Amino acid sequence: MNGYKAGSDNADRCAPVNSAHRHSGGSHHDHDHDHDHGAGGHSHAPAVSASNERVVLIGFALTAAFMLAEVAAGLLSGSLALIADAGHMLTDAAALLLAWAAFRMGRRSSDAKRTFGSMRLEVVAGLVNALSLFALVAWILFEAVQRLFAPQPVLAGPMLGVAVLGLLVNIAVFAILQRGDKDHVNIRGAAAHVLGDLLGSVAAIVAAIGIWLTGWMPIDPLLSGVVCLLILRSAWILLRGSLHILMEGAPGNVVVEEIGPHLTGAVPGLAEVRHIHVWSITSNRPMATLEIALQPGADPAAVTRATKAALLEAYGIAHATVEVDWGHGAAPCVLRMEAEAS
């Protein structure tokens, strides 16, 4: 999954604990902390795309409406494939509604308690989506095994008609979601749900045709199991990506060990880069903190500006906190010392 591969978990990415390094003995040095907050002021909360919010709301309305019809049809026809598809559409609707709520919450500006606003809720929503997919797969597989040992009659005609309608609805919802930000964790999560449900509709169509032509009932739970395997892949990718962000993993386009050599080669007057910390606050919102040492006679302000510009150009990091070492030498990494002591 693009955008979630960590550069290295073993790299020295220790950032300062706060804006003034805390040192033993209660004293602290005078550091220059230069924060890049963009042209709009100090708010860390990004503008949440109205397009993202709109597409997930439309997708929710279509999915929830057809899900109710599919539940009734599945119960009347006796088809596990339809019931499974309806259950998946229920999680689709919940995922879309959760994504919409996360986008709405993401509009909230930062405050004294939440300096990044509520944008991390989008990642939490992506994690919930992934877990719901795993739960859905477990239920479908359990029901499929039960039906393999005790096949039940299925009405192929109603099953086929509803499955075809479900396929059309899922295609429409998937196309709507593609109009949003396809790199966003919640858009990806919702699309993964819908894609799995689309495959579920295809399986229901195949099962209905097979039952209609041959009368062989086990095809219904068997195809439901095949769809579960496809859903598991999407669920795992989404779970891994959401956890990577929540665990403060480095963005996929960042290899931490390469940042220091790149900056020292690209920025005149920069002697050394230390304590590099890179993470994503949410999808496509990379952040960084680092400490720099200057070459003799270098202009601190100019080097700091050039360092930020290089981070933005090479890694897309628009928000960076750069601390200047005023000749006191490299301090030990506080986070690494705590980890080694524990």
Residues 179 and 203 in one domain: yes
Q: Is the pLDDT of residue 177 over 50?
A: yes
The residue among 12, 3, 10, 8 whose CA lies nearest residue 273 is 12
**Whole domain around residue 181: which residue ranges?**
50-246
Domain annotation covers residue 296: yes
Domain annotation covers residue 27: no
Per residue in 235-253, pLDDT tens?
Answer: 888 889 889 999 999 998 8
Residues 129 and 276 in one domain: no
Percent of the chain with pLDDT over 90: 22
Q: Is the pLDDT of residue 24 over 70?
A: no
Residues 95 and 146 in one domain: yes
- Tell me, what CATH number does 300's domain have? 3.30.70.1350
More confident residue, 198 or 168: 168
Q: Is the pLDDT of residue 145 over 50?
A: yes
Find the mean pLDDT for residues 223-242. 81
Residues 101 and 158 in one domain: yes
Residues 225 and 297 in one domain: no
Find the mean pLDDT for residues 2-6. 36
pTM to 2 decimal places: 0.68
Query: Which of 168-177, 245-254, 274-283, 323-332 comes out lowest in average pLDDT?
Result: 323-332
Give the pLDDT confidence score for residue 6 in this predicted structure: 34
Domain annotation covers residue 34: no
Domain annotation covers residue 35: no
Residues 184 and 280 in one domain: no
Burial class (CB in 10 A: 0-12, 13-18, 19+), 313: exposed
Domain annotation covers residue 45: no
Question: In total, how many domains does the chain have?
Answer: 2
What mean pLDDT is reported for the chain? Answer: 77
Residues 207 and 306 in one domain: no
Residues 189 and 294 in one domain: no
Domain annotation covers residue 22: no
Residue where one domain finishes, among candidates 200, 218, 246: 246
Q: Quote the distance between the C-alpha of residue 3 and its chain's center.
A: 9
Q: Is the pLDDT of residue 302 over 90?
A: yes
More confident residue, 7 or 147: 147
Give the pLDDT confidence score for residue 186 in this predicted structure: 67
Percent of the chain with pLDDT over 70: 77
Residue where one domain finishes, among candidates 206, 223, 246: 246
More confident residue, 230 or 250: 250
More confident residue, 296 or 31: 296
Query: Which of 90-104, 121-135, 269-283, 296-310 comes out lowest in average pLDDT?
Result: 90-104
Give the pLDDT confidence score for residue 264 in this predicted structure: 94
Per residue in 82-121, pLDDT tens?
Answer: 777 777 777 778 778 877 876 777 666 677 787 777 778 7
Q: Is the pLDDT of residue 78 over 90?
A: no
Residues 150 and 171 in one domain: yes
- Tell me, what CATH number does 168's domain have? 1.20.1510.10
Residues 71 and 193 in one domain: yes
Which range in 32-41, 224-233, 266-275 is most confidently predicted, on average pLDDT? 266-275
Domain annotation covers residue 5: no
Residues 181 and 297 in one domain: no
Residue 146 burial (CB count, 10 A): 12
Residues 288 and 219 in one domain: no
Domain annotation covers residue 44: no
Residue where one domain finishes, among candidates 246, 281, 308: 246
Give the pLDDT confidence score for residue 1 in this predicted structure: 38
Q: Is the pLDDT of residue 289 over 80?
A: yes
